């Protein structure tokens, strides 16, 4: 069995929570072996991350280079190609960095590549059986991956449970592999990161979110959700297609590339429920899904599901909520 390496994403000296998930995934591939944490970066932040991993990984490879202070995937790739042993298995989180790094890296390593892996089901000889999803999570697939010449696997964040993967007593060894990295050059140069401007409504501060997706069909229909949100004293948020279509501002988008929200109640209206969208919903709210498609993946994660057309359902719900609240207001006046 080749050695398994886990790529540690980190920021400001802290390892991303994907580190534990990748360790759990590595254990599924080779229960008997000790996965290596690969940490790429520079300076005090890099040292802090390596040190913090000593409790969970028994071996940590540190790749330090001034030009790796910002994780430019092209530079990281060059470094990894020089350091990784032939035939290794490398696990990377399937986030914006993993999508940037892994396909090209697999070519340079002449290794197999599988993106967005949800689970590692079986290991038999030189073949891994992996679970993926297609069509926005409507169907799952098994994928056979030939690891004879190694593999790069991008693991979906949050998909693999970390329970039991932490070794409480480990005192990991930090191995400095920086000398193997050598000089790095890139045809793509990082310039800066732009933080988004605040929008008109801060959806992260609302207890009730009426969130609309593609099912709202056109810009004029967003007012149907606004009416319900007003009746409930909440705000309207949305999924990515609504922003892509310019029906709502980017600041209203819930998801890994948008806002992270922690409401008490989340009404997903015409939202299919991609994992990128769900990644932005934290704090385990009471989630209601309304969707015409009974197979929509959102019904697998919502608390309550209603198969209906949001354009017809929402106005009736709004009317009913207004009746309820006016009754309540009448009571409080008495």
Partner 1 sequence: MEILVCAKRVPDTSENEIQLNGAGNDIERDDVVYSVNEPDNYAVEEALRIVDRTGGNVTVVTVGGDEDEEILRREMAMGAHQAALISDEAFEGSDGRGIATILKAFVQKGKYDLILTGVQADDAGAQVGGMLAAMLDYPFASLVNAIDVENGGLKISREIEGGSKEISAIDLPCVLSIQTGINEPRYVGMRGIRQVASREIPTFDASTLGLDGGQVGEDAAKVKRTDYFVPVAGKGAEMLEGSREEIIDRLVAMMRAKGGLN
Write out the binding residues for partner 1, residues 184-243 only, by CB under 8 A: 186-196, 207-208, 214, 232-234, 240-241, 243
What single DSSP character describes residue 259? B
Helix or strand (DSSP H, E) at 103: helix 96-109
For partner 1, the closer of residues 60 and 105 by Cβ is 105
For partner 1, the closer of residues 176 and 324 by Cβ is 324
- Binders of partner 1 in range 245-274 (CB under 8 A): 245-246, 250-251, 253, 256-260, 264-265, 272
| CA angle 43–49–51, rounded 5-degree value | 100
Total residue count of the chain as it appears in this document: 334
- Binders of partner 1 in range 7-66 (CB under 8 A): none
Q: How far is the CB of 205 from partner 1 (least distance, A)?
A: 15
Asked if 239 and 277 touch (Cβ cutoff 8 Å), the reply is yes
Instruction: Report how many residues bind partner 1 under the rule CB under 8 A.
Output: 99
- Binders of partner 1 in range 84-103 (CB under 8 A): 95-96, 99-100, 102-103
Beta-ladder partners of 122: 129
Options 19-27, 52-60, 167-175, 284-292: segment touching partner 1 (CB under 8 A): 284-292
Interstrand relation of 127-134 and 119-124 (parallel, antiparallel or unpaired): antiparallel
Q: Give CA separation, 157 vs 19, 26, 228, in Å.
A: 10, 14, 33
262: burial class by Cβ within 10 Å (0-12, 13-18, 19+)?
Answer: middle
* SS3 category, 228: helix
Q: How far is the CB of 252 from partner 1 (least distance, A)?
A: 10
DSSP per-residue string spanning 2-42: --EEEE--EETTEE-THHHHHHHHHHHH-TTS-PEEEEEE-
- Binders of partner 1 in range 150-189 (CB under 8 A): 186-189
Q: How far is the CB of 278 from partner 1 (least distance, A)?
A: 11
Backbone angles phi, psi at 286, to 5 degrees: -70, 110
Q: Give the integer Cα–Cα distance in Å for 215 and 271.
A: 7
Q: How far is the CB of 10 from partner 1 (least distance, A)?
A: 13
Options 6, 115, 165, 239; binder of partner 1; rule CB under 8 A = 115
Q: How far is the CB of 47 from partner 1 (least distance, A)?
A: 24
Options 135, 205, 223, 284; binder of partner 1; rule CB under 8 A = 135
Cα–Cα nearest to 208, from 143, 144, 287 = 287
For partner 1, the closer of residues 180 and 320 by Cβ is 320
Q: How far is the CB of 33 from partner 1 (least distance, A)?
A: 22
Q: Does 328 bind partner 1 (CB under 8 A)?
A: yes
Q: Give the integer Cα–Cα distance in Å for 143 and 104.
A: 20
Options 30-38, 55-63, 170-178, 304-312: segment touching partner 1 (CB under 8 A): 304-312
For partner 1, the closer of residues 129 and 167 by Cβ is 129
For partner 1, the closer of residues 180 and 300 by Cβ is 300
For partner 1, the closer of residues 49 and 298 by Cβ is 298
């Amino acid at each position: 069995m080749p050695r398994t390496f886990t790529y540690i994403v980190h920021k400001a000296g802290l390892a991303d929570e994907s580190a534990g998930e990748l360790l759990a995934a590595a254990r599924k591939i080779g229960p008997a072996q000790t996965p290596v944490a690969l940490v790429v970066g520079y300076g005090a932040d890099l040292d802090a991350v390596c040190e913090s991993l000593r409790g969970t990984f028994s071996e940590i490879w540190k790749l330090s280079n001034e030009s790796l202070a910002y994780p430019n995937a092209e530079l990281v790739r060059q470094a990894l190609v020089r350091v990784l042993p032939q035939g290794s298995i490398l696990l990377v989180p399937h986030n914006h960095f993993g999508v940037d790094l892994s396909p090209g890296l697999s070519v340079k390593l002449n290794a197999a590549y599988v993106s967005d892996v949800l689970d590692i089901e079986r290991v038999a000889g030189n073949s891994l059986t992996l679970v993926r999803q297609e069509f926005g999570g409507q169907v799952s697939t098994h994928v056979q991956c030939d690891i004879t010449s190694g593999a790069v696997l991008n693991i979906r964040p949050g998909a693999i449970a970390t329970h039991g993967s932490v070794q409480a007593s480990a005192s990991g060894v930090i191995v400095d592999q920086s000398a193997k990295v050598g000089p790095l050059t890139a045809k793509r140069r990082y310039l800066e990161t732009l933080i988004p401007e605040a929008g008109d409504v801060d959806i992260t501060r609302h207890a009730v979110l009426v969130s609309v997706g593609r099912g709202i069909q056109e810009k004029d229909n967003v007012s149907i959700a606004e009416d319900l949100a007003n009746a409930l004293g909440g705000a309207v948020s949305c999924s990515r297609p609504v922003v892509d279509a310019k029906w709502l501002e980017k600041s209203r988008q819930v998801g890994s590339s948008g806002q992270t929200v922690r409401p008490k109640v989340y009404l997903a209206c015409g939202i299919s429920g991609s994992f990128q969208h769900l990644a932005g919903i934290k704090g385990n709210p009471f989630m209601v899904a309304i969707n015409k498609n009974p197979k929509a993946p959102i019904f697998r994660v919502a608390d309550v599901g209603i198969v209906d057309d949001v354009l017809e359902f929402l106005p009736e719900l709004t009317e009913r909520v207004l009746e309820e609240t006016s009754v309540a207001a009448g009571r409080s006046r008495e």
